[in-house]
Amino acid sequence: MSRTAPRRLAMPIPATVQAEHSGYPRVVDGALVEAVRESWLVEDRWWSPAPVRRRYWEVVTRGGHNLVLFRDLRTGAWYRQAAMS
């Protein structure tokens, strides 16, 4: 009998983001960004064939949603991610 395979939580979800030239996000999936609460850089797994370089942003949208998003600095793509601290 086959079993359900384990599934990772908080997988990044592709997002449509309009950002300033400096990288500051302005619109996330159609929602205007009201404020940026925090921004940080994550560089990890540099020893592996798939290194990770991400610029994270924690933002508040005009609708009051608190979102965590990041830009993959290797590909330039934007993603949203559930914050699991």
Partner 1 sequence: MVMDVLMSRLELVVAVGDRRTLLRVPVALAPEPGGPDRIGACSPAAEAQGVQPGIPLAEALARCPQLVLVPPDPVAVDRSWEALLIALEGIGAAPEPLAPGEACFEIAGLRRLYRGLDGVIAAVRRAVGWPGLRIGLGPVRFCAQAAARRAGPRRANHVHGQTELAALPVELLLCRDRTERLPAPLRRLGLTTLGDLVRVGRGPLGERFGTSGILAFDLASGLDTPLTPRVAGSELRERFELPESLSGQLLDRVLGLLLDRLLARPEREGRTLRTVVLEAALVEGGTWRTRVVLREATADRERLHLALAPHLGQLTAPAQTLGLFAETFGGPPSQALPLLEDGEERRKARLREGLRQVSAGSGEHALLRVVEVDPASRLPERRMALAPREI
Residues that bind partner 1 (CB under 8 A): 1-16, 29-30, 42, 44-45, 52, 80-84
Residue whose CB is less far from partner 1, 14 or 23? 14
Q: How far is the CB of 44 from partner 1 (least distance, A)?
A: 5
**Please, how many CA atoms are within 13 Å of residue 8, restricted to the half-sphere of its CB?**
7
Distance CA 45, CA 47 (A): 5
**Which of residues 21 and 46 has its CB atom nearest to partner 1 in the complex?**
46
Minimum CB–partner distance for residue 45 and partner 1 (Å): 8
- When the beta carbons of 26 and 45 are compared against partner 1, the nearer one is 45
**Shortest approach of partner 1 to residue 82 CB, angstroms?**
7
In 9-73 the beta strands, taken as DSSP E runs, fall at 13-14, 17-19, 25-28, 31-44, 52-61, 66-72
Contact between 57 and 33 under an 8 Å Cβ cutoff? The reply is no
